[in-house]
Structure 1
Amino acid sequence: MTDILAREIETGSDPNHPVRAILRRCRAWVERHPRVRWAYRLALGVLGVVVVLIGVLLIPLPGPGWLIVFLGIAILGTEFPAAHRLGLFLRRVLERALSWWRARRAARKQSAQQS
């Protein structure tokens, strides 16, 4: 990872970033108004489900089908605890699969060099 990319990630993760401050204020406003909160949750739920369904439709096609499914689960996970837990579980499974794949690839590369 380059220094520029690391710096940009660090800047975007800063809790004092102006965009994050605006989002915090908007979220606080939504929390103070129960009807708006209900509409917000409904809209977010519909958006998340639509994104997941589009991703499921795109899975057999070439392209980022699974990525879109995970994005939909992440959208749902911002408001619904069950979707958040599902997203964490999927992240752990993907990290394990990726580490297994890297170890397998390194072992194959090492055995090819020894031959």
Structure 2
Amino acid sequence: MSSELQEEIRRGEEGGRIQRTVLRVKAFSYKHPALRAIHLTLVTVLGALFVVLGIIMLVTPGPGWLFIFLGIGLWSTEFAWAHRLNQRVKRLALKAWRWWSNIVAEWRFRRARDKPHHLLQGPRHLRVTAHGTGKK
């Protein structure tokens, strides 16, 4: 499972159409000081809006963590501290995912190992019991 998550992160870091568009807009806005100020203000305000909405959604229905990470990701296009925070969170998420995957694998192994052997797999109405009938 962790290799699937790592592959997904790698594909996201490679960038795509959205990242190319963001880089074009950023390059265009750097050509003029007024456009740069507007771009920086827009990124700051939208990032803050996403983070605040995400925090609100942590206690109300909605994808709170997604919005928080989107806000930090938006900030990381302009601010080095946000980029470092984003990288740190990715490392922690991968570590937590590996830890959880190992726990689940251990549970499944123990459940399969300790399963009573007199039970048969399959739907209950098709199981053959020791008496030779499928139904009780």
Show the counterpart of 1:43.
42
Deviation by residue 1:20-64 (Cα, 9 ceiling, x = unmatched): 3x5544332211111210111011101100110000011122331
Number of aligned residues: 103
CA distance in 2 between counterparts of 1:85 and 1:65 reads 21
Equivalent residue number for residue 3 of structure 1 = none
Task: Give the whole-Å Cα distance in 1 for the aligned partners of 2:112 and 2:72.
Answer: 42
The TM-score with structure 1 as length reference comes to 0.78
Within 5 A, what are the aligned runs for 1:58-73?
58-73=57-72
Which structure's relative contact order is higher, taking Cα pairs within 8 Å and 6+ residues apart?
A: 2
RMSD (Å), alpha carbons? 2.4
Based on CA coordinates, which of the two structures has the bigger radius of gyration?
2
How many Å separate the matches in 1 of 2:23 and 2:66?
Answer: 27
Alignment gaps of 5+ in structure 1: 1-5
Structure 2, unmatched stretches of 5+, are: 1-7, 115-136
Q: 1-side partners of 2:66 and 2:57: how far apart?
A: 10
Aligned to 1:31: 30
Local SS of the residue matching 2:30? helix
Whole-Å separation in 2 of the counterparts to 1:43 and 1:23:
13
Q: What is the percent sequence identity of the aligned residues?
A: 32
Provide the secondary structure at the position in 2 that maps to 1:42. Answer: helix
SS of 1:44 mapped into structure 2: helix
Stretches (4+) displaced over 6 A: none
